[in-house]
Structure 1
Amino acid sequence: MLGGVLERLGDYGDQVPRFTPPRCLLERQAVGGCDACHATCPHAAIEVGPLGQSIQIDPAACTGCGLCVQVCPSGALEYDLTAPLQSVRDAGQATAEGASLTCSQSGAGGPALTCLGRVTPAVVAAAGAWGVPLTLLHGDCAACPVGAPDVPERVTRVAQEAQRLREATGQPARVNVRAAAPEDRDRAVRVSRRGAFATLLRAGRQQVAQALPERPLPFVDWSQPQQRVPEEWRWRARTLTPTPPPDAGIHWPAPLVDDTCIDCPVCSNVCPTEAITRDLKPEGGARLLLDLSACTGCMACLRSCPPQAIHAQDEWLEAAFHLPILLRDSDSVM
C-alpha cells in the first residue's frame, strides 16, 4: 500500500527561492557587491535592482532549478532542505543500497528534485554523516528546459566541497554523480513509514507522489539571532560527525584580523549573517568577535576592509565552533 501512495506523490510548493535581504551583499553594501545569482540564472529570471530591492526574481521565468542558491555566497537565496534531507535519511534507514536523488527531467524513479541544481554541500555532507551512499542522477542537461547544460559539473563541484568539509571527520561521503540509465526508471521510493506519514502531514494532502514535496519558507525574523544563519550552514555544522580529532583542521573559510586594523565598524556592518560583532567596551575601545558556525565564508569583510587588515583562514580546529573567537581587542575606536 505504501508503494502505491508514494507513486502518487505530487509536486507542490513555490519554485521561487526565498530571498532574505539582510543576507544579501548588495543590501549590506559590501565592496564589490555581488551579482552571482544574476550571472548564473540560465533563464534571465533574476534582475539586480536598487538598494532595498537589490534582487528581484520573475516568478514567471524562474524554473526553480536552484542554481542561484548554489552560488549565493551568503545564503540570501535558499530553499527548504527538509525534504531532500528526510529522503536521504529515510532511504539510509530502509535499505543498505543507499539513497538517490534525481532530477525531474531524467525519467528515473525515486525521489525527484526539480533539478540537481537544488543539491547543496549540506545535503551531500549529511549523507556522509549518516553513512548513506548517495547517487545523484541527472538527465540530458544539454537539452533541459529547467536547468543548464553544465549542471553535472556544478553538482560535482558541490560534492567536492562537501568532501572537503567531511575530510576532518575521517568518514567521507559516498556520492556518485551520473546520468540516469534505463534501468533507473524502476527505482523505488524507499522511505520509512514514519517518514511517509510525516511527508503527508507536511504536504497537507491526501496523496503523495515521487517528487519531493517542498514548503515555502517563512520570512526570516532578523530579531532572532539563530534565524540569521542560513539553514545550509546550520546543517553543514551539524554534519561534522563523527567529531573530528582535536588537532584536525576543518575546512571552513572565515576571516582573521591583523594588527593593521584601524578599529572601524566596516567588517561587522557588511557581514551578511552578523557572524562578526563589534562590542564597545565600557572603559573604551572595542572587541571584534567571530561566531565561526555563523560565518558563510563570503569574505565580504575581507573585500570591504579599508586597511586590508583581514585575511582568510581556511581551516579551524573543532573547538573553535563552540565559543566566540576574539578577532581584535582594541583600546580605541573610530
Structure 2
Amino acid sequence: MLEGVFKLLGDYGNPVPRYTGPRCLSERLVVGGCDLCQQACPHEAVSIQTSVSIDPSRCTGCGLCVQACPTGALEYDVTATIAAVRDQRQQDGGARLVCSRSDEAGKTLACLGRVTESAVMAAGAWDLPLALVHGDCAACDLGDPSVPASVERVVEQAQQLRAATGHTAPVTLRRGDPSVGGGGERVSRRSMFGALARSARSVAAQAIPDQPLPFVDWSEPQDRVPDEWQWRLRAMKPTPAPDTAVYWPAPVVDDSCIDCPVCDNVCPTDAIVRDVQPDGRVTLHLNLAACTGCNACARSCPPDAITMQPQWPQRDFDTPVLLRDSGAAVTDPPQ
C-alpha cells in the first residue's frame, strides 16, 4: 500500500512544468513580448519579468500554460502520454485519456490541459479512436472551465497538421461517464495524500507518470527543438509524398530584408540561421522541422520583411530551406 503511495507522490509530487529560458519569447526580447502562459493560468501561479517564474505553491499542474506556450518554453513529458495512447491499441473501443477529476477509469492525467497535439496526432498515426474524458470543469479547482475549449483547439490544430497524411485522428471530447468504469482518482496538490491513501494501488495502475524533466542542454542542437514538435513530425504518418503541402506555419522573407540579425536572435529554437559569407553576402536558412510557428521573427523584423507561410511541401523538412541570399536572388522561393 505505502509503495503505491510513494510511487504516486513521485509521479504527481512535482506538477510545475519545465521551463527552458532560451525558448521563451520574453527572454528572447521579442517585440511585444509574450504573456500567453500568464493569461492561461487559472491560479495566478505564473509571473513574468524578463523570464517566466512559476509559484509551486499555486501551481496545480493543470497544463494550460503549456498548451498556450507557442515555443515549448514550458513543457511536460509528452512521451509518457503518447506511450499511454500506444499501450491501448489492442483495447476494444480505442484509447482513453482521462482527467483525474472525471467519473471514469482510464489512463489518467491530472487534467486534460495536459493533452497536446502530439498525442492526438499519434492516435491518428495508429488509426486509433481516442476519447478525451473530462470532469466537471466548471466546478474544478485543479483546472478551469476553459479546459474543454482549450482541448478543442489542440484537437483542431492536430487535425490541421495531420491533413497532409489523408488520415485525420478519430477523437471524441466528452464528459466522464461513471457507467464506463470506476471513477478517476482526484489528484490535486491539496487533496493528494488522502486520495492516494484511499486507493493508491488502483491509481498507480492507471496514472500516467509525471516525473520531472531534466534541464535542456542548449549546447546540443538537437535539444533545442521541444519534444512536442519532434513528436508532431514523427507522428506525421503515413508520410506525405514529397510535393504534398503540409500545414506547418513558418517564415518567408521578401526583398525588403535589410540583412540584420534580428530574426536569428529572437528565434526560440534556432530554426533560423544567419550566416555571413567570406565575400560579405548574408544568407538566411530555415530548419523547418525546428520551427514552432511562434511568429517571433515576423513580429520583430524591423522592415516587416517576414510573413508566415502556412503550408510547405513535405520535401522541405529534409534539408534547410534558403530564405535569403543578399548577393543573389533566390530563384526558387518557398511556395
How high is the TM-score relative to the length of structure 2? 0.88
4+ residue stretches of structure 1 with deviation over 6 A? none
Which position in structure 1 is the counterpart of 2:213? Answer: 217
- Paired AA for residue 249 in structure 2: P
Residue in structure 2 matching 1:245, options 231, 234, 241: 241
Please give the alpha-carbon distance, in whole angstroms, between the structure 2 residues aligned to 1:187 and 1:33: 42
Corresponding residue for residue 182 of structure 1: 178
Distance 2:150 2:70 in 1: 15
Equivalent of 2:307, from 308, 311, 322?
311
Note the alpha carbon deviations across 1:143-167, whole angstroms, 9 max, x for none.
0011110211111111011000001
Counterpart CA distance in 2 for 1:103 and 1:96 is 20
Which residue of structure 1 lines up, in the alignment, with residue 118 of structure 2? Answer: 122
Q: Alpha-carbon deviation of 1:250?
A: 0.7
User: Between the two proteins, what is the percent identity of the paired residues?
Assistant: 57
Equivalence for 1:10: 8
Which one of the candidate residues 63, 81, 84 is aligned to 1:84? Answer: 81
Q: Distance in 2 between matches of 1:90 and 1:185?
A: 18
The equivalent residue for 1:23 is 23
Instruction: Give the Cα separation in 2 of the matches to 1:63 and 1:153.
Output: 19
Alpha-carbon distance between aligned partners in 2 of 1:184 and 1:83, rounded to the nearest angstrom: 24
Structure 2: which amino acid aligns with 1:87?
A
Provide the secondary structure at the position in 1 that maps to 2:67. Answer: helix
CA distance, structure 2, for counterparts of residue 184 and residue 55 of structure 1: 40
Residue of structure 2 equivalent to 1:199: none
Q: CA deviation at 1:187?
A: 8.4
Give the residue type in structure 1 aligned to 2:8.
G
Give 2:153's aligned residue: 157
Change (3 A) 1:9 1:173: farther
Aligned to 1:133: 129
Q: C-alpha separation between the residues in 1 aligned to 2:93 and 2:183?
A: 11
Amino acid at match of 2:157: E
2:251 to 241, 248, 255: 255
Instruction: Encode CA deviations 1:302-331: one digit per residue, 9 max, x unaligned.
Output: 000000000110001100100000000113
Quick one: which amino acid aligns to residue 274 of structure 1? Answer: D
2: distance between equivalents of 1:19 and 1:9? Answer: 24
**C-alpha displacement at 1:132, in angstroms?**
1.2
Task: Tell me, yes or no, if the aligned pair for 2:102 and 2:183 is still in contact at 8 Å.
Answer: no
Cα distance in 2, alignment partners of residues 112 and 321 from structure 1: 34
In 2, the alpha carbon distance for the partners of 1:60 and 1:186 equals: 30
3-state SS, counterpart of residue 64 of structure 1: coil
Q: Does residue 278 in structure 1 map to residue 274 in structure 2?
A: yes
Distance 1:96 1:325 in 2: 44
Report the residue type matching 1:47 in the other structure.
S
- 1:119-178 CA distances to partner (integer Å, 9 max, x unpaired)? 001110011011111000000000001111021111111101100000110111010000
Match status 1:233 vs 2:229 = yes
**Distance in 2 between the 1:321 and 1:60 partners?**
42
Query: Aligned pair 1:36/2:32, yes or no?
Result: no
Alpha-carbon offset, residue 283 of structure 1:
1.6
Q: Is the 1:23–1:272 contact (alpha carbons within 8 Å) kept by the matching residues of 2?
A: yes
Change (3 A) 1:170 1:187: farther
What amino acid maps onto 1:141 in structure 2? C
**CA RMSD of superposed structures (Å):** 2.1
Residue type of the partner of 2:154? Answer: V
Quote the Cα distance in structure 2 between the aligned partners of 1:113 and 1:127.
16
Structure 2 gaps, min length 5: 185-200, 329-335
1:39 counterpart letter in structure 2: Q
Give me the whole-angstrom Cα distance separating, in 1, the residues matched to 2:109 and 2:169.
Answer: 20
In structure 2, the partner of 1:63 is 60
Give the whole-Å Cα distance in 1 for the aligned partners of 2:180 and 2:53: 38
1:295 to 267, 291, 294: 291
When the two structures are aligned, how many residues end up with a matched partner? Answer: 307
Residues 208-260 of structure 1, C-alpha deviations (whole Å, 9 max, x = no match):
43221122100000000000000100001111110113332111000000000
Could you list the per-position Cα deviations for residues 184-206 of structure 1 after superposition, in whole angstroms to 9, with x for gaps in the alignment? Answer: 33489xxxxxxxxxxxxxxxx9x
Question: Which consecutive residues of structure 1, in runs of 5 or more, have no partner in the other structure?
Answer: 189-204
SS at match of 1:311: strand
Alignment partners' CA distance in 2, 1:176 and 1:78: 24
Distance 1:96 1:262 in 2: 58
Verify the 8 A CA contact 2:22 2:73 in the aligned structure 1. yes
